[in-house]
Every structure is written in C-alpha cells, then in structure tokens.
C-alpha cells in the first residue's frame, strides 16, 4: 500500500477567474442566453428595441427647440420631425395653467414644502418632530395656492384647537364619549358660524395676506398635483375606516360601509366628476359657492377610498386570527389593537395594492379635462386651439406622459423600498 499522507509545501496564490465566469459575460449567459428558447427571445427583443429606436430617435432628435410655431418647424428644411418648440413656448402653461406669473413662486414653494411635509411620513429615520410641520402643511399649502387673508386658515386651525381643549377639559367631567361628541360639535359650530365673521373682523383690523387666486386660474401639472396629493392623503385614512367598517360587528356601520364601497366602485369616475361639476350645485343651498376643485377632490377621494378599502380588506383577511386574539388577550382595546397590531401588518401586506391605487388616482386626475378643468391633458386642446400650434399632437402628449411617469415611477420605487425595509425575517 502506498503512503496516503500528504503535506502541502507551497500555498497557491489566487488566480483571476476564467473569462466568462464574471462580469457582463457571465450575466448575459445566465440571463439572456441560458437556453435556446431564451436566446431566441433575447435576440427578438433586441431586434424590436433597435427597430423602435431607429424609427423614433431620428424623429425625436431635431434642432427644433427654438421654433416659435408649428409653421416655422415645417418651413425649416433642417427640421424633419418633432417640433419641440411647443414645449419651450408653453412650458409655463403646462406647469401652472393660467396662474399669474408673478405669483408662481407660491405653488413652487408649496410644492417643496409638500415634499418636506411628506418626508417624515415616508422615511422614519427623519426626526419625528417634523411631523408637526406635516400636520400644519395642509393649511399652509391651501393658503399659498389660493391666497387671501391669512386669518381664514388660521381660524380653521383654531377650530381644531378648540376641539382639542374642549375634549381635554370635558373628559374628566362628563366621560370620554360625551367629551368627544361635545368637542366635535364645538369645532363644527365654530367653523360654520364663528370662523368666518372672526376672520373677517381680524383681517379688517389687521389685513395680512397674499393676493387671492381663483380656482379657474389653476391648471397644468400643478392642478394634477393638487388634486392627486389631496386625493392620496385623504383616501388612505378614509379607505382604512371603510375597511374596518366593513368588518365591524355593528350592523349599521357594516351595511353603510358595504353600501358605500359597492356603490362607488360600481360607477365610473367620470360620472362622479360630472356630478361634482354640475349636479352638486342643485343639492347645495343656493348661494353657496363651493369651489369646483374642492368638489373634484372630494369625488376623486371617495372613488379612490372605495378601492383602497377593498385593497386593505384583502390585507386584513390575510392576517391569522391569532393576531386579533393575542391583542385581545393582552387587554388592548379595539382601537389600540387596530392601530398597533392589525393595521401595521395589514397595510404592509397591502402596500403593492395601495400604491397601485395611488398611481391610478394620480393618472385619473387627467379625467378632469373632460369637465373643463385645464390640467395638462385639458391644456392640449387649448394649445392646439392657438394659431401657432394648430395641429401639434405627439410632442405634447409625449411630454405630458413623461411628466406623469416621473411621479408614478417614483411612487412605484418607493413602494419597493418600503416593502424591502419592512421585511422582518431573513
């Protein structure tokens, strides 16, 4: 028998991996050419991309940025495709509609403040104190956009403060539920009868404010964002309440929730928008001037909320009953267990659906063009109607599509980030 013992006398140095085991080549072999079928598909896809690119790029890449009208593009022999001058010429309108130029710093400021306000909601690493700004932002934002006296929004905020203190002082005296009801009534009565006159008085005494801008001047991307962001911010809490209502043990609440959800989901958004633009005025007391944009926001919100409720119901249904039981067994009350145990998990499961509904809502804001609001899509008609740009189609549509895509794609990316972050197992 030969001796099987062996001792290595010299350690081997590291060799570079053979070509094709690393980097691009390895990736391509594994992902694009792993089998015959895969290779054929890859080649076909490549051909398609090249074909589309070869058609599109020569059309798109044109020295037409400075043209002042479609006529100019057509007459210029150097321009054989897209006439991008329209974007430059109408850029301001596509962003702000007919909002007066000298006041446009307001929507811009409101937009960046909005980003600041949502930041602590989206990213939990940011200081928690920022949430105070988020809570105040709706009033600041509305005031910046519509303008007028500062006392108006301040009096609305005062309503919340009145409600808070009414609740705080009465809880000890008359009990939790009664205090809640009284506080709510006090707030509503203040808004209906107190806020208006007091705001007028104060602004007469101390006229602080910025020029008021009518809703009819709103337009462009700014209008889409105003409706979209309000709709998103409002539809999530309403959707959560509806989903909980649908699960409720209380018969009336359950029936109301189911009825609402099924009715709203059953009608097209566009009919709701027509109701908002025409019919709602019949139901309101004569003389009330209920802003059209506000009406549209309400309709878009309840429409999205109904969908949201169903998405969240799916998440609730996916939770094991043991979670409800464990929360009950520890002595948490209904709202505590919903807020601390059930909703965080149900919402996490529902993230893709919720973000899907948000994206749908944001794109659906373009439907307001049908009831005559001048969002970017509504502006296409206006721009085509002007002598300079009569006949232009593709350039405008592509640019508007790109604007919307930037927003919806960010939402989709955020949703993926969030899902990743919330993973709690390996």
- Give contact residues for other proteins (rule: CB under 8 A): 320, 322-323, 325-333, 336, 340-341, 344-345, 348, 422, 424-426
Structure tokens given for 281: 């005025």
Spatial separation of the C-alpha atoms in residues 297 and 292, rounded to whole Å: 9
Asked if 399 contacts 409 with a C-beta cutoff of 8 angstroms, the reply is no
Structure tokens given for 51: 């074909």
Q: What is the Rg, in whole angstroms, of the alpha carbon atoms belonging to the chain?
A: 29
Sign of the Cα pseudo-torsion (289, 291, 292, 295, in order):
negative
Q: How far is the CB of 250 from other proteins (least distance, A)?
A: 13
Spatial separation of the C-alpha atoms in residues 355 and 210, rounded to whole Å: 36
Query: By C-beta, is 104 or 345 nearer to other proteins?
Result: 345
Query: By C-beta, is 117 or 240 nearer to other proteins?
Result: 240
CA-angle at 229, arms to 162 and 111, nearest 5°: 90
Q: How large is the angle between the packed helices 394-421 and 343-364, nearest 10 degrees?
A: 180
Q: How far is the CB of 327 from other proteins (least distance, A)?
A: 8
Q: How far is the CB of 36 from other proteins (least distance, A)?
A: 41
Q: How far is the CB of 248 from other proteins (least distance, A)?
A: 15
CB atoms within 10 A of CB 363: 15
DSSP conformational letter for 275: I
**If you write DSSP's letter for every residue of 334-347 in order, what string do you get?**
HHHIIIIIIHHHHH
Query: By C-beta, is 70 or 327 nearer to other proteins?
Result: 327
Query: By C-beta, is 331 or 391 nearer to other proteins?
Result: 331
Structure tokens given for 355: 């973000």
Query: By C-beta, is 287 or 331 nearer to other proteins?
Result: 331
Structure tokens given for 363: 């794109």
Query: By C-beta, is 16 or 322 nearer to other proteins?
Result: 322
Structure tokens given for 408: 């919806």
Query: By C-beta, is 257 or 337 nearer to other proteins?
Result: 337
Tokens 């932002």, located at residue: 137
> What percent of the chain is helix, strand and coil (3-state, nearest 5)?
75, 0, 25
Q: How far is the CB of 159 from other proteins (least distance, A)?
A: 29
**H or E segment to which residue 310 belongs:** helix 292-317
Query: By C-beta, is 11 or 177 nearer to other proteins?
Result: 177
Query: By C-beta, is 25 or 422 nearer to other proteins?
Result: 422
Q: How far is the CB of 321 from other proteins (least distance, A)?
A: 9
Spatial separation of the C-alpha atoms in residues 270 and 369, rounded to whole Å: 10
Query: By C-beta, is 288 or 424 nearer to other proteins?
Result: 424
CB atoms within 10 A of CB 36: 8
Q: How far is the CB of 174 from other proteins (least distance, A)?
A: 17
Query: By C-beta, is 314 or 344 nearer to other proteins?
Result: 344
Q: How far is the CB of 358 from other proteins (least distance, A)?
A: 22
Beta bridge partners of 148: 210
Q: How far is the CB of 216 from other proteins (least distance, A)?
A: 47
Give the residue from 61, 109, 115, 107 showing the smallest Cα distance to 83.
61
Sign of the Cα pseudo-torsion (361, 366, 367, 373, in order):
positive
Q: How far is the CB of 123 from other proteins (least distance, A)?
A: 18
Give the residue from 408, 46, 23, 3 showing the smallest Cα distance to 232.
408
Q: How far is the CB of 426 from other proteins (least distance, A)?
A: 7
């Amino acid at each position: 028998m030969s001796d099987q013992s062996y001792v290595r006398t010299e350690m081997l140095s590291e060799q570079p991996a053979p070509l094709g085991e690393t980097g691009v080549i390895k990736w391509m072999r594994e992902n694009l050419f792993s089998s015959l079928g895969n290779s054929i598909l890859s080649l076909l896809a490549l051909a398609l991309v090249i074909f589309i690119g070869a058609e599109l790029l020569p059309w798109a890449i044109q020295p037409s940025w400075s043209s002042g009208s479609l006529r100019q593009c057509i007459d210029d022999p150097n321009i054989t495709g897209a006439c991008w001058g329209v974007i430059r010429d109408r850029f301001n309108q596509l962003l702000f509609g007919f909002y007066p130029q000298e006041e446009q710093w307001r929507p811009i400021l409101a937009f960046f403040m909005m980003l600041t306000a949502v930041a602590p909601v989206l990213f939990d690493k940011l200081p928690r104190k920022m949430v105070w700004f988020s809570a105040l932002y709706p009033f600041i934002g509305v005031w910046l956009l519509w303008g007028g006296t500062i006392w108006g929004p301040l009096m609305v905020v005062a309503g919340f403060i009145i409600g808070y203190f009414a609740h705080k002082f009465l809880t000890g005296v008359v009990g939790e539920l009664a205090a809640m009801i009284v506080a709510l009534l006090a707030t509503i009565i203040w808004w209906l009868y107190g806020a208006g006159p007091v705001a007028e008085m104060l602004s007469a005494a101390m006229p602080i404010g910025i020029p008021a801008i009518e809703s009819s001047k709103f337009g462009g991307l700014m209008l889409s964002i105003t409706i979209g962001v309000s709709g998103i911010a409002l539809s999530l809490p309403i959707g959560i309440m509806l989903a909980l209502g649908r699960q409720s043990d209380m018969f009336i609440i359950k029936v109301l929730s189911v009825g609402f959800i099924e009715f709203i989901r059953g009608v097209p958004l566009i009919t709701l928008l027509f109701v908002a633009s025409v019919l709602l005025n019949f139901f309101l007391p004569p003389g009330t001037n209920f802003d059209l944009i506000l009406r549209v926001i309400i309709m878009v919100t309840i429409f999205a909320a109904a969908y949201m409720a169903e998405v969240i119901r799916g998440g609730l249904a996916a939770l094991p009953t043991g979670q409800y039981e464990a929360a009950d067994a520890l002595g948490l009350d209904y709202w505590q267990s919903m807020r601390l145990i059930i909703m965080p998990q149900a919402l996490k499961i529902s993230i893709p659906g919720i973000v899907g509904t948000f994206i749908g809502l944001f794109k659906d804001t373009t439907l307001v063009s049908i009831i005559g609001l001048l969002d970017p899509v509504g502006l296409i008609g206006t721009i085509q109607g002007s002598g300079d740009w009569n006949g232009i189609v593709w350039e405008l549509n592509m640019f508007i599509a790109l604007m919307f895509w930037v927003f919806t794609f960010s939402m989709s990316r955020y949703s993926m980030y969030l899902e990743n972050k919330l993973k709690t197992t390996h």
